[in-house]
Amino acid sequence: MIEHQGIIANISDKKISVKILQQSACSSCHAKGACMAADSKEKMVDVTDSTGKYKINDLVTIEGKESMGYKAVLWAFVIPVFILVLILILATSVWKWGEMEAAIASILALAPYYLILYLLRHKMANSFKFTIKNFN
């Protein structure tokens, strides 16, 4: 399970917005002050809850299925790399384009992919659901 501690920032109807601190894997390292790789960002995560037992500024733990992380990596990294490589191979081998044209075509081929992801963002958001694990 993916777990994050956060603070409830907003409550509206059945939607609770939880503010979490997303940290990189190396953020707990003792040398992070001297390293440029360590970073952390505040993120807002929406959770559906109709119990009404939470209030703003409550400390909660949210959780999601590990498969959500794998699905996110697939959509964000694996499929775009596959598209890039496929278009590069087709452009250089089948269509006999030069390397520059093939590179530009492979990058431009990602535009429709990201447009489709953008148009389907609300539908995809339904498959990335977090729940409140406990009430601290």
Each residue of 65-111: pLDDT tens digit? Answer: 889 989 999 999 999 999 999 999 999 999 999 999 999 999 999 99
| Total domains present in the chain | 1
Secondary structure of residue 37 in the 3-state scheme: coil
Q: Are strands 59-64 and 40-48 parallel, antiparallel or unpaired?
A: unpaired
Contacts of 110 (CB under 8 A, 6+ apart): 80, 83, 84
The model's confidence at residue 14, banded by pLDDT at 50, 70 and 90, is confident
Per residue in 26-74, pLDDT tens? 556 655 555 555 566 788 988 988 788 889 999 999 998 889 989 999 9
Give the per-residue pLDDT at 34: 54
| Confidence at residue 50, expressed as pLDDT on a 0 to 100 scale | 77
Look at 14 and 104; give whichever has higher pLDDT: 104
Q: What is the pTM of this model?
A: 0.70
Distance CA 77, CA 79 (A): 6
Cα-based distances in Å from 92 to 19, 42, 79, 81, 95: 47, 43, 20, 17, 6
Name the residue among 39, 45, 7, 42 with its Cα closest to residue 26. Answer: 39
Q: Is the pLDDT of residue 15 over 60?
A: yes
Maximum separation of any 2 CA atoms in the chain, in Å: 64
